[in-house]
Amino acid sequence: MSLRGDVCVVTGACGFLGKRLVRLLLEEEKLAEIRLMDQKISPDVLSTMGDCRGSTKLSPYEGDIRDGDFLRKVCRGATVVFHLVSIIDVHDAVEESEIYGINVKGAQLLLEASIQENVLCFIYTSTIEVMGPNSKGEPIVNGTEETQYECALKFNYSKTKREAEQRTLQAHNELLPNGARLATCSLRPMYIYGEGCRFLLGHVADGIRNGNVLYRMSLPEAKVNPVYVGNVAAGHLQAARSLRDPQRRTLAGGRFYFISDDTPHVSYSDFNHAVAAPLGFDIQKKLPVPLGVFYVLCFIMEAVCIMLRPFVRVVPPLRRHLLTMLNTPFSFSYQGAKRDLGYVPRYSWEEARTRTTEWIASQLPKEREKLRAK
């Protein structure tokens, strides 16, 4: 079903995924309006969308996701909300109160504003990390929405994303003031890569400092399935179309879906090498130290940081749970999203890799200049 004439809200519209989703909406749907919500919106973001906006109105909304009155203003008259905003933190560097306030309370306030303002559809951007891996490092290969798994979340990030997702799904079918009912669903993308991915660029920058040799932090057999940002945006569009369709709504409403694509299953480290190798980067053959020793070192760092906590807050560069995540086979199929949402990846692995590598190449001069400046 088309979103023609709809008014869509995109929170986090200036982020990595947000900008890609806004552009896709402009290219494929004749919307009445897209409301770009973020803490700060650069004029450049609006200007770069000018070539594909057509008659769609682009409206910037700058504000805090924790401001309920502001959120009601953003949602007033809207039909679809894409909630992308969250603090992403895999090092537990952000204070718990801050990440909870943004990721959980912000999502709850946005849900409440959506209900109060008669929004029909609410799509929440979750993460694969709400599933795990658990502290035992138990693997999942080609998991589905029905996969049973003993999950033990360690990061505040994964905990808050899980709670926000649960609140979103519980709000499905809530009665709206106008007599209609809210439809919600949650999308769980794998690790997202592509043009603009700051994590990927960070690994490449480390490789530059290491003489164009990427660090290996994951074993080759710890295979995962990253997903291209363009395909994640397409998954969001299909979710909105499905919730607006009375027939598909009964299938998708109140459910979560894994979003992956046909990117080969490789370890995180080998994926970094796959997209950087055409630019002359090599990769370490082995982990810097055996994995068991790595865990011991992480334990010592965590213990030292805990002892220092009464005097100074120090964040260890690597925690045991992150090391487990990097070294656990953990992959999921997109067949559920294909069946219920009509999602099919728009970009092949070859095209996604080419686009990503070209973007990295465009950033290399800046990264090398930063290194020389130091």
Q: What is the Cα gyration radius of the chain?
A: 21
Task: Examine the residue annotation and report whether 157 is marked as an active-site residue of this protein.
Answer: yes
In whole angstroms, how far apart are CA 374 and each of 203, 364, 367, 369?
Answer: 18, 16, 11, 9
CA separation (Å) from 130 to 61, 78, 151? 29, 29, 8
Residue with tokens 């899980």: 162
- Three-class DSSP category at 140: strand
Q: Rounded to an integer, what distance in angstroms lies between the CA atom of residue 261 and that of residue 263?
A: 6
Strands 121-125 and 80-83, bridge-based pairing: parallel
Give the closest residue to 18 by CA, choosing from 35, 1, 43, 4. Answer: 35
Of 157, 193, 257, 334, catalytic: 157
Helix ranges (H only) for the chain are: 16-28, 43-48, 68-75, 96-100, 106-116, 156-170, 198-209, 229-244, 246-252, 268-276, 291-308, 320-326, 335-341, 349-373
**SS3 (DSSP) at 329:** coil
Q: Which residues are catalytic?
A: 157
